[in-house]
């Protein structure tokens, strides 16, 4: 399979685009999101090294165009199997087929959890979980309020209000384009309902 290097920030695919082939991420991180008619974005999932994109698999298996947008969050290195090779490998290689369906099933389970989270959990719990997931070892979250809103499927204004409440409670400190976690344990307790 040919390998490609893709720079950070590049759009990998967008709604309505045809699928170029089965993609395996070798290095880097990509995100896949959808945008509503009102302009609000929702992060569906991130793709890490060794993972595949369920949108791409869905497009190839169903003969469909993309319905979401994929963007390189970091520089990427990917391997791409053209559609004909993908179909041949599915037919002729039980190991490849198992790999594809295991990754597809795992991602669908993750999407089901996302839907349940958005439908049933309060914004504060979803935001606490997103902050903990994005935090580095020092407790720094390099993200804007809009980034966090996309992560939890909420509005930026709601996220801003909730972050201010967290700050008043001493759970974090806000800065420009970043959040510093001050009380991971309390945020973890809040997020544990997920």
What's the CATH number of domain 121-191, 1.10.3470.10, 1.10.150.80, 1.10.4160.10, 1.10.10.10? Answer: 1.10.10.10
Instruction: Say if residue 193's pLDDT is above 70.
Output: no
CATH, domain 3-119, list 1.10.10.10, 2.60.120.10, 3.40.50.300, 2.30.30.360: 2.60.120.10
Residue-wise pLDDT tens digits, 8-38: 999 999 999 999 999 999 999 999 999 888 8
Is the CB of residue 145 less than 8 Å from the CB of residue 175?
no
Return the percentage of the chain with pLDDT > 90, whole number. 74
Report d(CA 144, CA 177) in Å as an integer: 5
Give per-residue pLDDT as tens, 154-185. Answer: 888 999 999 999 999 999 999 888 999 999 99
pLDDT tier, 194 (very low <50, low <70, confident <90, very high otherwise): very low
- Which residues of the chain form CATH 1.10.10.10? 121-191
Q: Indicate the pTM of the whole model.
A: 0.72
Are the beta carbons of 159 and 152 closer than 8 angstroms?
Answer: yes
Handedness of CA 107, 108, 111, 117 (dihedral sign): negative
Quote the tokens at residue 152.
Answer: 């939890």
Which part of the chain is CATH 2.60.120.10?
3-119
pLDDT in tens, 42-98: 889 999 999 999 999 999 999 999 999 999 999 999 999 999 999 999 999 999 999
pLDDT of amino acid 191: 86
Torsion of CA 13, 61, 115, 66, to 10 degrees: 20
């Amino acid at each position: 399979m040919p390998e490609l290097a893709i720079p950070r920030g590049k759009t990998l695919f967008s709604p309505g685009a045809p699928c170029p082939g089965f993609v395996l991420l070798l290095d880097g991180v990509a995100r896949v999101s959808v945008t509503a008619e009102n302009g609000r974005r929702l992060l569906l999932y991130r793709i890490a090294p060794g993972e595949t994109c369920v949108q791409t698999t869905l497009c190839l298996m169903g003969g469909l165009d993309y319905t979401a947008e994929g963007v390189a969050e970091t520089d990427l290195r990917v391997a791409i199997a053209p559609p004909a090779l993908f179909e041949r490998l599915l037919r002729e290689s039980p190991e490849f087929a198992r790999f594809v369906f295991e990754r597809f099933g795992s991602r669908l389970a993750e999407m089901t959890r996302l839907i349940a989270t958005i439908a049933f959990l309060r914004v504060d719990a979803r935001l606490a979980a997103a902050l903990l997931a994005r935090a580095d070892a020092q407790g720094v979250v390099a993200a804007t309020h809009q980034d966090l809103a996309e992560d939890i499927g909420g509005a930026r204004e709601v996220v801003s209000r909730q972050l201010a409440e967290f700050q008043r409670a001493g759970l974090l400190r806000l800065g420009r384009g970043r959040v510093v976690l001050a009380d991971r344990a309390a945020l973890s307790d809040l997020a544990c309902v997920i």
